[in-house]
Amino acid sequence: MTRRKPTANRRADIVKTTLDLAFEQGPDRVTTGMIAARLGLTQPAIYKHFPRKGEIWVEIAKSLQAEISANISRALAPEHAPVDRIRMLVRDQLAIVNQTPALPDIMVMRSGDKHHGVLQTTMQTIMEDFRSALISVVDAAKADHSLDPSIDASDAAALVFGVIQSQVLLMLFTRKRENILENGERLLNLLLSSLENKEKTR
């Protein structure tokens, strides 16, 4: 006899499967029938945990928001050197994209579904928080002279964010994510080298 999974575990399975299908098929094409078939369940079993399909997207939004917020808080902890905080922000964000490759598709999706709208609005808000955190740690790196004090913090943060965007865009085109962390780290090292305070390194 097959044992039923606890509700929390089944909900997590549904969310993960939805994200897997969103990457494979496109988020706007995912149906509850597809989710149920992938999990070997009936559609009513899906609705038992999420009465409306849109509620799955809301759950995804909450989960991603919590994860990114936790990463931001960890990277802003004062015990880390400012440049290390920059590295943490980029590495952790790329790790999320690597684990949730449907995220870029979700961000650029065009849909009239209000629940998709909630997801996109939530992600836009948290990414603005991420950008603000980047500016803050760049300012801190300027203050301790790790980075060139003359650079504009917003411009430098935009360049750092561009490292993430470049890997996301490449993944959107190739649908491959195997080396996203390694490539991102290598590009970030090149960028930080160009932004470092040359006076301090002499």
Give the integer Cα–Cα distance in Å for 26 and 126.
Answer: 22
Mean pLDDT of the chain: 90
- pTM, two decimal places: 0.87
Give the integer Cα–Cα distance in Å for 105 and 129.
Answer: 20
Residue 25 burial (10 A CB sphere; 0-12, 13-18, 19+): middle
Give the integer Cα–Cα distance in Å for 135 and 160.
Answer: 10
**117-141: b (≥16 Cβ within 10 Å) or e:** ebbbebbeebeeebbebbbbbbebb
pLDDT tier at 2 (50, 70, 90 boundaries)?
A: very low
Residues 46-84: tens digit of each pLDDT: 999 999 988 998 999 899 999 999 999 999 998 999 999
Q: Which of residues 178 and 20 earns the better pLDDT score?
A: 20
Residues 131-181: tens digit of each pLDDT: 999 999 999 999 999 999 999 999 999 999 999 999 999 998 888 888 999
